[in-house]
Amino acid sequence: MYKLSIVIVGRDDGYGDDQLTPYNATTPDTFCFRMKRTIENNIKLFKDLGHDIQYVVVDWSPIDEKTLDKNEYTSLALKNENVKHVIVPPSSIEERGWNPKNFYEYYAKNVGIRNSDGEYVLITNPDIMFTKEIVESICNVVFGKNEDKIYYRPYSRIDVSNDLEHLAEGISFIQNGLFQDQTLGTPAAGDFLLSRKENFVGYNENIDTNPTKQQTSMDGNILFTMYSQGIYPCQLEGSILHLDHAKPHQKEGYLDSNP
């Protein structure tokens, strides 16, 4: 059994591959290349410290049967012995009464949590690269402290270009007078949330089911739920890197993958 499972979700739909990024730039890296790059980088950082971890990749409702194992980039990453590839077929989504063309990011993350084998689960995104410092902090928790009723957020998220040039930084527990921000650490919570698997209450699958809109705010909502159940926040040392890309775009009436 693994001590840590890292969960990401996505599909081969060209998310963020066109238009300008929020920093008025274009990027040559595709969604699938970013996913390959971050998986390989993050697994290597743990291996360099002598730790074997699991990566759970949820392939949500593939468009035109383009599963991630067929893409030239992600197919390579999925061959890693540490990666577990979970495909959620459109038929199972239709059975729930949802739109199989829509990308329900947080429901996909629930699938990842359920299919993870680790004592700890870390929810992140395919465009998030870890640094050595944050991996050391994660390892201190997972392979050291083993505290029960705690969830962990990084010090910050640093937006970087695909060449890893610094663009901007957002603090997880920003001191702005808002309880949800400075106490719970809700900013960009979907990019990094670490806790024991037993602490994950799951994202509420009775909300944000609009068939044409991207799911929003659910990354913060889960922190309110965990806090109300006596699972309290803790800040880790270190930051995560967010690879710059274009924001969600509309195609044929449905929204593509997670931001």
Q: Is residue 215 predicted with pLDDT exceeding 60? A: yes
Angle, in degrees to the nearest 10, between helices 105-114 and 218-228: 50
- Separation of alpha carbons 89 and 77, rounded Å: 21
Mean pLDDT over residues 204-233, rounded?
78
The predicted-structure confidence for 84-98, as pLDDT tens digits, reads as follows: 999 999 999 999 888
3 state DSSP class of 167: strand
In the chain, domain spans:
4-255
pLDDT on residue 198: 95
Amino acid at 16: G
Mean pLDDT over residues 231-252, rounded?
84
Mean pLDDT over residues 174-187, rounded?
96
Q: Is residue 208 predicted with pLDDT exceeding 90? A: no
Q: Please say whether the dihedral angle defined by the alpha carbons of residues 242, 86, 223 and 142, taken in this order, is positive or negative.
A: negative
Q: Give residue 19's Cα distance to chain centre.
A: 22
Q: Give residue 110's Cα distance to chain centre.
A: 11
- Separation of alpha carbons 83 and 16, rounded Å: 23
The CATH class, in words, for 4-255 is alpha beta
pLDDT on residue 247: 80
- Separation of alpha carbons 62 and 141, rounded Å: 35
29-43, 142-156, 172-186, 197-211, range with the lowest pLDDT: 197-211
Q: Is residue 74 predicted with pLDDT exceeding 70? A: yes
- Separation of alpha carbons 149 and 228, rounded Å: 11
Average pLDDT, the chain: 90
pLDDT on residue 216: 63
| Portion of the chain with pLDDT greater than 70, in percent | 91
- Separation of alpha carbons 220 and 235, rounded Å: 16
pLDDT on residue 255: 39
The predicted-structure confidence for 1-53, as pLDDT tens digits, reads as follows: 799 999 999 999 988 887 888 898 888 889 999 999 999 999 999 999 999 99
Q: Give residue 216's Cα distance to chain centre.
A: 14
pLDDT on residue 253: 36
